[in-house]
Amino acid sequence: MRHYLKSILITVASAYIAYRLIPTIDLGFDPRAPLVIIGGLWIISQLISPIFSLVLLPINLLTFGLVSLIINIAFIFALLNFLPGAVIGPYNFPGADIDGIILPAMNFSQIATIVLVAVIITVVQKVLHIIFE
């Protein structure tokens, strides 16, 4: 039970961080939309990802675990079709200067923004799983 609660909290944190980092994520007016997204991400991370990782183990080893990223990208595309009010629009990153590290301004298309959201969710989930387990 403790493992499931920890994984739900990690999923909530990863979805919240992606939502805060990418301002063009719009979940619409349906109050169930965040619950559907968090529940879907949790089901993906607990049920579907381990099955795909086991079945696709040789490919997963060759790609250093990018199978979970591809699964998250496909899931986000499916959620955008499933939830009528959910939209991820194009994102214009204004650039940043963090302690001398300069990140240039970039324009992301809608598909690139969806991939960026999936990358953020996947990386945050992996890091939090490493930290808390």
The answer as to whether 29 is a domain residue is yes
The answer as to whether 95 is a domain residue is no
User: Tens digits of per-residue pLDDT, 100-114?
Assistant: 899 899 999 999 999
The answer as to whether 100 is a domain residue is no
How many folded domains does the chain comprise? 1
The answer as to whether 98 is a domain residue is no
Q: Mean of the per-residue pLDDT values for the chain? A: 86
- pTM for the structure as a whole: 0.84
Structural domain for 11, as ranges: 2-90+105-132
Residues lower than pLDDT 50 in the chain: none
What Cα–Cα distance (Å) separates residue 58 from each residue in 29, 46, 62, 66, 67?
Answer: 42, 20, 6, 12, 11
Provide the CB-side half-sphere exposure for 64 (13 A, CA).
1
User: Tens digits of per-residue pLDDT, 43-58?
Assistant: 887 887 778 778 877 8
